[in-house]
Amino acid sequence: MNPSALLPLVVIFMSPVTSETVDPSVEDLINRNSDFAARLYRAVASRTDDNVFLSPFALIAGLTALMSATNGSTQDQLLQGLTLSGLDPQTLPDLFQNLTTVVLKGGRTRTLWQGAALLPAQNFPVSPSYQDLVQTKFRGSVQSLAFTVPQEAVNTINRWAQEQTGDLVKEVVTTLDPQTQLLLATVASYQTRFSPAFNSSQSLAERFYVDRYHVAMVTMMFRSDKYFLAYDRLVKVGVLKLPMTDGAAMLVVLPDEGVDVSAVEEEVTAEKIQAWIKRLKKTKLEVQVPRFLLERSYSLKEILQTLDITQVFQDDADIADMGGAKGPRLTQVLHKSIVSVDESSDDITTEGRVNVFSTPPPRLTINRPFIFVIYQQTTGSLLFIGRVVDPTRK
Ligand SMILES: *[C@@H]1O[C@H](CO)[C@@H](O)[C@H](O)[C@H]1NC(C)=O
Ligand SMILES: *[C@@H]1O[C@H](CO)[C@@H](O)[C@H](O)[C@H]1NC(C)=O
Ligand SMILES: *[C@@H]1O[C@H](CO)[C@@H](O)[C@H](O)[C@H]1NC(C)=O
């Protein structure tokens, strides 16, 4: 047989599974964003024993929009902190717009809502061209607020958050400092729609081992099906992929019994997440995943400072597009996101199907603290990242 006859087949098998090709400059931005997201997650997670939930994508949109308003060393430092150094700040807004088109298909999906707002005090006038840039390139908004009337400012921000998240995020702030010069607020919400779907009539109350001394009763969803699974011997974690109908997937990262979730967290980098995704193999599995709802709120100033984003918070911050000669400094970064993980699905092809395998496959029960990552499958873009220590707590 002529060996060259084999060639087309090889080419077909080696080409990516997805038909969508992502522009190399967008792919580069996705990788840079994932790197920042993983560093942010490690910084937040290392400071708490509680559940964690972050929406890096919404935060990066807000911070990159802010970067576009800055100048000089304030801008250089923001670029570096966001892993964007080397990119041209002039074309970054267009590049970000291209990214959003690919990742969010140009707009909101029915499952994912998010928003970013830059909120300067009224004595810092904003140029109309900058306002327009934030809207068109970052899908964000710039709005002047009278922080000297804190209660009104609080109400305005909370109303905005509701609008951005389909009423899910109701309250981002309760109090504000009347001296506030500039706030960045970022919000997001996500509702899982697993495919294959979990069937709620198979969900059961089960134990979840929060730590050595605490057990919580949770609702465990169940499905027997073919799943993608990987095992990382070095980090001692199992990695399960749960695909969703909107093209995203959740990676559940479960430490081996006796391995502390915080030890695993130190290893969570963008490259590690990518390596896990590449290593996934299809296997028959009985999967048990707890239902949970996380609602997490963060003031990120200190965290961002540990990631070497400091100057924008200082009096000599150079935020040239606001207030002319003497612009504001960034006072605080508010971040709130909600995720609801349950049996909701619009996957009519698998909803009622109950698989019966001739021999019962192994069972993977997510019944101890785990890390999860929600990413877009076609681009690998990281949308959310979190940690569940206790599924019964928000
Ligand atoms: C954004 O996409 C358009 C259309 O594909 C392209 O012409 C443009 O160069 C891209 N912009 C950047 C900054 O990559
Ligand atoms: C930014 O800085 C450069 C040089 O330092 C200056 O020419 C430019 O006008 C500044 N931009 C704004 C918007 O102030
Ligand atoms: C769920 O599974 C049960 C069997 O346990 C089946 O009878 C039922 O039709 C399924 N329901 C849905 C909505 O898929």
Q: Are strands 332-341 and 292-299 parallel, antiparallel or unpaired?
A: antiparallel
Find where tokens 């996500």 sit.
190
Domain assignment present for 282: yes
Q: From the CA of 217, how far away is ligand 3's center (Å)?
A: 23
| Residues 70 and 144 occupy one common structural domain | yes
**Whose CA is closest to atom 12 on ligand 3?**
352
| Residues 318 and 246 occupy one common structural domain | no
| Residues 112 and 241 occupy one common structural domain | no
45 — pLDDT class (breaks 50, 70, 90): very high
Domain assignment present for 131: yes
Query: Would you tell me how many other CB atoms lie within 10 Å of the CB of residue 43?
Result: 16
Percent of the chain residues topping a pLDDT of 90:
82
Atom of ligand 2 nearest to the CA of 71: 1
| Residues 271 and 353 occupy one common structural domain | yes
| Residues 171 and 313 occupy one common structural domain | yes
**Whose CA is closest to atom 8 on ligand 2?**
71
Q: From the CA of 342, how far away is ligand 3's center (Å)?
A: 16
Domain assignment present for 118: yes
Say how far apart CA 139 and CA 142 lie, in whole Å: 10
Ligand 3, residues at Cβ distance < 6 Å: 199, 201-202, 351-352, 354
Give the domain-ending residue among 322, 339, 356.
339
Per-residue 3-state assignment (H helix, E strand, C coil) for 60-122: HHHHHHHHCCCCHHHHHHHHHHCCCCCCCCCCHHHHHHHHHHHHCCCCCCCCEEEEEEEEEEC
Asked if residue 72 has its Cβ within 6 Å of ligand 2, the reply is yes
Domain assignment present for 394: no
Helices 56-67 & 24-45 angle (0-180, nearest 10): 110
| Residues 234 and 106 occupy one common structural domain | no
Mean pLDDT value of segment 254-279: 96
Domain assignment present for 393: no
In degrees, rounded to 5, the angle at the alpha carbon of residue 36 between the alpha carbons of residues 372 and 237 is 30
What's the token pair of residue 147? 């922080």
pLDDT tens digits along 99-158: 998 887 745 567 899 999 999 999 999 999 999 999 999 999 999 999 999 999 999 999
Domain assignment present for 106: yes
Helices 72-81 & 56-67 angle (0-180, nearest 10): 160
Q: From the CA of 354, how far away is ligand 3's center (Å)?
A: 7
**Whose CA is closest to atom 5 on ligand 2?**
72
| Residues 47 and 92 occupy one common structural domain | yes
Query: Would you tell me how many other CB atoms lie within 10 Å of the CB of residue 263?
Result: 12
Of the chain, the end-to-end C-alpha distance in Å amounts to 63
Residue 235: phi, psi to the nearest 5? -85, -15
The enclosing domain of 140 has a CATH number of 3.30.497.10
| Residues 78 and 138 occupy one common structural domain | yes
Q: From the CA of 206, how far away is ligand 2's center (Å)?
A: 61
| Residues 122 and 255 occupy one common structural domain | no
* pLDDT (0 to 100) of residue 132: 96
pLDDT tens digits along 53-111: 999 999 999 999 999 999 999 999 999 999 999 999 999 999 999 999 888 774 556 78
* Domain containing residue 352: 200-290+345-388
* pLDDT (0 to 100) of residue 89: 95
Mean pLDDT value of segment 321-333: 87
Domain assignment present for 98: yes
Q: From the CA of 320, how far away is ligand 2's center (Å)?
A: 8
pTM for the whole thing? 0.91
Q: Please tell me the total count of domains within the chain.
A: 2
Q: Which one of 20, 21, 22, 23 would you pick to mutate in the ligand 1 pocket, going by the greatest count of ligand atoms within 8 A of its CB?
A: 23
Per-residue 3-state assignment (H helix, E strand, C coil) for 228-289: EEEEECCCCEEEEEEEECCCEEEEEEEECCCCCHHHHHCCCCHHHHHHHHHHCEEEEEEEEE
| Residues 155 and 274 occupy one common structural domain | no
| Residues 319 and 371 occupy one common structural domain | no
Atom of ligand 3 nearest to the CA of 353: 14
Domain assignment present for 179: yes
In eight-state DSSP terms, residue 138 is: H
The enclosing domain of 272 has a CATH number of 2.30.39.10
Mean pLDDT value of segment 200-207: 94
| Residues 172 and 214 occupy one common structural domain | no
Residue 11: phi, psi to the nearest 5? -60, -45
Give the domain-ending residue among 305, 324, 339.
339
